[in-house]
Structure 1
Amino acid sequence: MQSLCPQLLSLLFVFSSLQIHQLTEACSCALSHPQDAYCNSDIVIRAKVVGKKLLKDGPFGTMRYTVKQMKMYKGFNKMQHVQHIYTDASESLCGVKFDINKYQYLITGRVFDGKVYTGLCNFNQPWERLSLAQKKGINHRYQLGCNCRIKPCHYLPCFVTSKNECLWTDMLSHFGYPGYQSRHYACIQQKEGYCSWYRGMAGRDKTTINSTDP
């Protein structure tokens, strides 16, 4: 019986290691353009995270972040002011971690039972790290393209199949996200009814490009 103990311990160690590996690999998110993140969110705000508290619910708990809202860009029909953001306490379950009293964050999320929930699959970034085009997109441009469809291109050849599509090729040229289109372009519906990539610049230099030529 004593000779079996080391073997049993080894098996338990391997099993627990596999369980931990599976747990850490549990969170998987599809790549998303910031415009899609904006359009698919109930709430989009800029806020500073000023506190946190671990709530003992579920196997890993829920982290409740207290925020000081600076500006709301989307979600006025859901709530007028956001005070708390909820997320899974475990990153393996797509919980997101915010630094306290360090950055102003752009935070996107969904509203459920009067609470705002977010996670790693949402678009959450320090405001200072966003490009100028992304900030303008959050302010007003992205909402102009919520009827458009951003179509990811993972392998060539790829084509748009309807007039409301913009071909998103960051996965080809930048080995994933974030890429040039993610940081500098919005897919906007034009007066003629079709959608195309748009990049607004300072002064008179404003460029609209074809949806197949980002």
Structure 2
Amino acid sequence: MKMYRGFKKEDASVQYIYTESSESLCGAAWRFNKYQYLITGRVYEGKVYTGLCNLIEKWDKLTLAQRKGLNHRYHQGCNCKIKACYYLPCFITSKSECLWTDMLSNFGTPGYQSKNYVCIKQKEGYCSWSRGWTPPDKSVINTTDP
């Protein structure tokens, strides 16, 4: 219904989404006539590919912060990279990285950080996590934020 990124306007008509044939091979299955989905993936040679390693979620299961992020905030992080932390210690290696720590406490499932924060470039040039539903307050540093 809507493309957020990855397509030029003239290419935005997708008829097929390619995935593996079974879930055991990381293939994804949907019920399109019943639900709307957010589907992430990659575009290769004009075809859209996705699988279980990508974010695929029923639209009505997304948090308010995620829906607002898609429509208003995530584009501010296009020059940022999210670096996953699987075990401690974890470090960022450049100012364009945000450290994603959900994997430490949620057994590989999206947790509080990914559902409520957005990685965006701050005016100082560094990328950092900001609450997804409100613009970042430039005058206060919140030490409870990831």
Q: Distance in 2 between the 1:98 and 1:185 partners? A: 26
Deviation at 1:184, TM superposition (A): 0.5
Q: CA deviation at 1:210?
A: 6.8
- Aligned to 1:192, the other structure's residue is in SS state coil
What is the aligned partner in structure 2 of residue 105 from structure 1?
Answer: 37
Distance 2:89 2:17 in 1: 41
Instruction: Provide the C-alpha distance between the structure 2 equivalents of 1:152 and 1:91, rounded to a whole number of angstroms.
Output: 23
Structure 1, unaligned runs of 5 or more = 1-69
Structure 2 residue aligned with 1:132, among 51, 57, 64? 64
- In the TM superposition, what is the alpha-carbon distance from 1:100 to its structure 2 partner? 3.7
Q: Secondary structure at the match of 1:74?
A: coil
The AA in structure 1 aligned to 2:39 is I
By how many angstroms is 1:141 displaced?
1.8
- Please give the alpha-carbon distance, in whole angstroms, between the structure 2 residues aligned to 1:138 and 1:156: 30
* Counterpart Cα distance in 1 of 2:57 and 2:16: 17
Instruction: Tell me, yes or no, if the aligned pair for 2:64 and 2:133 is still in contact at 8 Å.
Output: no
Give, in angstroms, the shift of residue 117 of structure 1.
2.0
Match of 2:55 in 1: 123
Count of aligned pairs: 143
- 2:5 aligns with 74
TM-score if structure 1 supplies the norm length? 0.58
- RMSD over aligned CA atoms reads 2.6
Change (3 A) 1:98 1:193: same
TM-score, length basis structure 2: 0.81
Q: 1:175 aligns with which of 75, 96, 107?
A: 107
> Which consecutive unaligned segments of at least 5 residues does structure 2 have?
none
Distance 1:146 1:201, change over 3 A: closer
Counterpart amino acid of residue 124 in structure 2: E
1:99 is displaced (CA, Å) by 1.2
Matches of 1:165 and 1:211, distance apart in 2: 18
What is the distance in 1 between the residues matched to 2:142 and 2:85? 15
- Report the equivalent of 1:196: 128
Which structure features the higher share of helix residues? 1
Identify, as 1 or 2, the structure richer in strand: 1
SS at match of 1:71: coil
DSSP 3-state at the match of 1:133? helix
In the alignment, what sits opposite 2:75? Answer: 143
User: Who wins on radius of gyration, i.e. which is larger?
Assistant: 1
Against the structure 1 CA distance between its residues 158 and 88, is the aligned structure 2 distance closer, same or farther, given a 3 Å change threshold? closer
